[in-house]
Structure 1
């Protein structure tokens, strides 16, 4: 990954400094502090080159569309959330501030634009609670639930609460108390309840990420809300998304044997990006991670990795790092980050599904064929 100084970026863009800063604030160019001078910033070369190419003239629509799929311009309008000036906003409210006191139920009320807080109570529990049970619960509900088409929003909000209730029954202890308390009780770590509450709120929504886009595409067909959540779960399971915290395991093990500096240096010498550090949408660091890490005593090895990683790469820990640290701090199940992620993000998936239903349109991109053509004789 290459970085440019402000002068280099401006030379390639051919713009004024104000335009460069505006592109950073809008998430079009990723910036980070210059390790040699923290008063200055460096700018991601790939982002600068992409914007510079646009100034050379109007490009074919197929190229614009292709770039839009990979961290490009927004492809869908939404009033649900955005990342602006390093702030994650839920319908205009700072998610970090919301996480100080709110529960996932309160976040759902805000994100769903509901007049009442949804009821996620569930008296049943899976025989073997966990991610596998969550998939089974959503698959069964998706196969039997009503489609969204032609149904009043008030009825769909009832469906939404039922979907999260089913999901919570597959992951957490039964009950009517807040979901973070039910998770803590399920894992027999009551002292983890407040950090879990914060994590659930911070992870509830994050703009048009891969799993949210998958859920929104499903919702655009008129499928049940449970089907949209099932699509989100499928996308979330990938190592580049909801399972990213698992990539910390090897780094932690190596740091315990060699020390944080040596472990990170060895990883970087292999040519890979440091797992769970940095985020393209946050120029100054993932605010969600800093908030969650401040909610508990971070294990020493994670604290050392955080400091060494920022010193050696200029990137700060992201939310996946914080989830891995929380799991280690409280002795939670190894897949706790994915379970927390899934339960929290189901609220965001449903918010986008409800918004997509209101548009009444099908999301159906075109493909650019690159395969063989028939022979012309």
Structure 2
């Protein structure tokens, strides 16, 4: 992520400082303090260049579409969630506040507009709980469930709850208690139940991220809701999304050998962004991270790394860092972050799938062809 000075930003924009500051306040340009001089600000180059290109004239429709697909302007209408003024909102309610007391079932009630807290009880147990079992369980449902189109909301809500129950059965211990307690029991750490609960709530939904878009496109075809969750799981498996916390392993090991400050400096000198620091949607840091980290004591080596990383990069630890800290603090399995992420986000995928089914519209964007043209006859 590249940052530039106010002078450089103004030169690119060709505007007055007041216009630059107005664009920052409206969330169009990300800004952060200059690590070398906290009295000055730096501005995200990508945001400045995008606005500068607009000022040169109204861009063609294909340019607008291309920009929107990668952190650009909103492309779909939703009433489920948004990130606004540094807050993550679930149907208008602050997710960080919800995380103080809510359960995943309670958040499902909110996001799905259900009449009561959703029960994800399950008595079946996978022979080898984990992500492989999760894929198999949801794929089996997707292969046999009825299409979503033409079915009542009551039946769709039942399908949604059953899908999450199957997923929970593949990832957590069986039982009728809340899923955060079942995960804690599965991992032999009952004292981790409340932090896991918080993580599930904070990760349940995050607007139109990659996996949610995949789930929503699938739902738009009329496919079963379980198929939408399967699509979400597939997208979540990528290192730029659900497994992002695994990218921190190298940095953590380097910090153990060299010390946190030396490790961060070495990383930055290589021109690499620090893994698990910063988030494009949050100008002042990923609000989910402190909401989760407040529920446990960060291991000293990770606390030192968080301090050095923020001080030297100007970016705060994000939710992936917090999940890494949670895993280390309680000695959870290495795949715990992805397990928590997948189970939590399935609720958000289903909220979007339900909303998309209600529209009855197929999501079918066009591609801008840049390949070989046929010969002129």
Q: TM-score, normalised by structure 1?
A: 0.96
Kindly indicate whether the alpha-carbon contact (under 8 Å) linking 1:28 and 1:73 is maintained by their aligned counterparts in 2.
no
In structure 1, what is the Cα distance between the partners aligned to 2:365 and 2:249? 38
Q: Quick one: structure 1 residues 68 and 257, their matched pair in 2 at CA, closer, same or farther if it must change by over 3 Å?
A: same
In structure 1, what is the Cα distance between the partners aligned to 2:208 and 2:25? 17
CA shift, 1:83, in A, is: 0.5
After superposition, the C-alpha distances for 1:29-49 in whole angstroms (9 at most, x for unaligned) are 222222234354321011111
SS of the residue aligned with 2:303? helix
In structure 1, what is the Cα distance between the partners aligned to 2:118 and 2:224? 18
**Does 129-138 or 49-58 show the bigger shift?**
49-58
In structure 2, what is the Cα distance between the partners aligned to 1:51 and 1:154? 45
Q: How many residues in Structure 1 have an aligned counterpart in Structure 2?
A: 377
In structure 2, what is the Cα distance between the partners aligned to 1:224 and 1:260? 47
Could you tell me which residue of structure 2 aligns to residue 43 of structure 1? 43
Kindly indicate whether the alpha-carbon contact (under 8 Å) linking 1:25 and 1:85 is maintained by their aligned counterparts in 2.
no
In structure 1, what is the Cα distance between the partners aligned to 2:129 and 2:171? 5
CA shift, 1:12, in A, is: 3.4
In structure 1, what is the Cα distance between the partners aligned to 2:356 and 2:141? 20
Could you tell me which residue of structure 1 aligns to residue 86 of structure 2? 86
**Does 78-87 or 28-37 show the bigger shift?**
28-37
Please tell me whether residue 223 in structure 1 is matched to residue 223 in structure 2. Answer: yes
Could you tell me which residue of structure 2 aligns to residue 353 of structure 1? 353
Please tell me whether residue 255 in structure 1 is matched to residue 270 in structure 2. Answer: no
Q: TM-score, normalised by structure 2?
A: 0.96
CA shift, 1:133, in A, is: 0.4
CA shift, 1:311, in A, is: 1.1
Q: Quick one: structure 1 residues 142 and 25, their matched pair in 2 at CA, closer, same or farther if it must change by over 3 Å?
A: farther
After superposition, the C-alpha distances for 1:177-198 in whole angstroms (9 at most, x for unaligned) are 1110000000000011011000
In structure 2, what is the Cα distance between the partners aligned to 1:110 and 1:148? 21
Could you tell me which residue of structure 2 aligns to residue 56 of structure 1? 56
Equivalent residues in 2 for 1:275-314, closer than 5 Å: 275-314=275-314
After superposition, the C-alpha distances for 1:93-140 in whole angstroms (9 at most, x for unaligned) are 110001011111111111111111111000101000000000000100
Could you tell me which residue of structure 2 aligns to residue 115 of structure 1? 115
Kindly indicate whether the alpha-carbon contact (under 8 Å) linking 1:26 and 1:84 is maintained by their aligned counterparts in 2.
no
Kindly indicate whether the alpha-carbon contact (under 8 Å) linking 1:33 and 1:284 is maintained by their aligned counterparts in 2.
no
CA shift, 1:287, in A, is: 0.9
Please tell me whether residue 68 in structure 1 is matched to residue 57 in structure 2. Answer: no
SS of the residue aligned with 2:32? strand
SS of the residue aligned with 1:28? coil
Could you tell me which residue of structure 1 aligns to residue 185 of structure 2? 185
Equivalent residues in 2 for 1:320-359, closer than 5 Å: 320-359=320-359
CA shift, 1:23, in A, is: 3.7
Kindly indicate whether the alpha-carbon contact (under 8 Å) linking 1:91 and 1:110 is maintained by their aligned counterparts in 2.
yes
In structure 2, what is the Cα distance between the partners aligned to 1:27 and 1:113? 29
CA shift, 1:275, in A, is: 0.5
SS of the residue aligned with 1:271? coil
Cα-Cα RMSD: 1.5
After superposition, the C-alpha distances for 1:200-229 in whole angstroms (9 at most, x for unaligned) are 000000010000000000000000110000
Q: Quick one: structure 1 residues 22 and 303, their matched pair in 2 at CA, closer, same or farther if it must change by over 3 Å?
A: same
**Does 256-265 or 333-342 show the bigger shift?**
256-265
Q: Quick one: structure 1 residues 24 and 347, their matched pair in 2 at CA, closer, same or farther if it must change by over 3 Å?
A: farther
Q: Quick one: structure 1 residues 22 and 350, their matched pair in 2 at CA, closer, same or farther if it must change by over 3 Å?
A: farther
Could you tell me which residue of structure 1 aligns to residue 158 of structure 2? 158
